[in-house]
Amino acid sequence: MNERIKTDILIEAKWIIPVEPAEVILKYHALAISQGIICDILPIHEAQFRYHPQQTISLKNHVLIPGLINLHTHAAMTLMRGLADDRPLMEWLNQYIWPTESQHVTAQFVLDGTQLACAEMIRGGITCFNDMYFFPESSAQAAIMSGMRAAVGLVVIDFPTAYASDADDYLSKGLEVRDNYQQHSQLSFCFAPHAPYTVSDKTFSSVLTYSEQLNIPIHTHLHETKEEICMSLDSAGKRPIERLQHLGLLSPNLIAVHMTHLTDSEIKLIQQYGCSIAHCPSSNMKLASGFAPVTAFLNQGINTGLGTDGAASNNRLDIFEEMRLAALLAKAVSGRADALPAHQVLRMATLNGANALGLGNKIGSLTVGKAADITAIDFSDINLTPCYDPLSHVVYTSGREHVSHVWVNGRMLLENKKLTTLNQSDLHYRMALWNKRIAASSRQ
């Protein structure tokens, strides 16, 4: 008899949805994991014969999917969840969010808020998030402490804040964070110029130069509202996409967020330059920004992922909700029930997000040789019965409350719905202090 191969973990599940190849559902299969990497995917009975794991986890009523990727968020803004609801974007920013940030945002605010966001995201099956916020070193520290994977946004904006005095200061501090943390396996980086209406041509050009030199993606809000487009026409004589094209920013390195108001020629332009899009359906609806033409994006072959935006404008960091909404809105807007089927929207929430971040060779699918970033969904809840198609169930029926286990690099961050890396009681205590402080200042 052949000696069994030693491995770290064997995860057995009723179903595995690897995302690659598309529409494949593996029944009664197992993942073999060694040193944080998926080393085999095979039927359970073969795995038990072939491998001698240090730990076997048997999930008899579960489906395994790749860890979900939140392609756009402002994690620390979780501390402002529900602070100023039911207001349009520019009023929300100018009269509520920016004044609150000017009073309260510090490195500690960002550390605490991002840890709270990480706790919520882990419990919702999210293993990687693409962030955009001040004090990115605190965001990096929070991600490391939680065990999550993060694309840390090196934020740039053309006005002073408590974090930086001007565009050059933002860039200098952001590059220092990148230099200090670039060797950390959980972290990658994006330049994060906020938006065309807050970033000058000169600053965009500087960002582009650094992006090309360091091969770091650029992550920016773009064509979020009609008002943004009118402002651009008034100030620059160009629509925002045309302006970015003129500056040379349209490229496979660009992650354009929201993209709700576009002409057919602009969609074609995004496709020609190979840009990616972060679609945020909940935030777009809540701020009445509009409906992104997602079906047109995908028909043109534009890589499109899913984001939640910040909890201040959503108010949840819930990619399950974004998957369901994205699918339903695509059908309603296009008038086609077959638009954005379940397998396509799950790919948006996983592999497409990974590809946008330049991480598609490492995460985004359950594939031999990729990192063991895995989410387990428990289908034993009566609300999930009967199940004829587990892939459809993931998108249309299950929710973050059904997530039972989460791994990043083979490390378990959620075990039977309990966080393993973050102290929930400590988070409650710190959030109560911030809640009291922010509420008091907002009444003044």
pLDDT tens-digit map of 290-316: 999 999 999 999 999 999 999 998 999
In contact, 366 and 16? CB cutoff 8 Å: yes
Per-residue model confidence as pLDDT tens digits over 374-413: 999 999 999 999 999 999 999 999 999 999 999 999 999 9
Q: What is the CATH number of domain 68-356?
A: 3.20.20.140
Query: Which tokens in the block code for residue 443?
Result: 């009444």
| Structure tokens, 270 | 């995004």
CA-to-CA distance for 383 and 351, rounded, in angstroms?
A: 28
For residues 374 and 179, give the distance between their C-alpha atoms in angstroms, rounded to a whole number.
29
The closest alpha carbon to 372, from 5, 2, 16, 6, belongs to 16
What's the pLDDT tens digit per position in 284-296?
999 999 999 999 9
Mean pLDDT of 265-273: 98
Q: Collect all residues with Cβ–Cβ distance below 8 Å to 390 and sequence separation of at least 6.
A: 15, 17, 25, 63, 379
Q: Under a CB-based contact definition with an 8 Å cutoff, are residues 219 and 257 in contact? A: yes
Please report, rounded to a whole number, the percentage of residues in the chain having pLDDT higher than 70.
99
**pLDDT of the residue at 90:** 83
CATH of 5-66+372-409 given 2.30.40.10, 3.40.30.10, 3.30.460.40, 3.60.130.10: 2.30.40.10
pLDDT (tens digit per residue) in 186-229: 999 999 999 999 999 999 999 999 999 999 999 999 999 999 99
At residue 344, φ and ψ (nearest 5 deg) are -75, -40
Whether residue 236 has pLDDT greater than 70: yes
The per-residue pLDDT for 443 is: 63
pLDDT tens-digit map of 63-94: 999 999 999 999 999 999 998 899 888 888 88
Question: Average pLDDT, stretch 118-127?
Answer: 98
Each domain of the chain, given as residue ranges in start order, spans: 5-66+372-409, 68-356
135/89: higher pLDDT = 135
Least confident of 43-57, 75-89, 408-422: 75-89
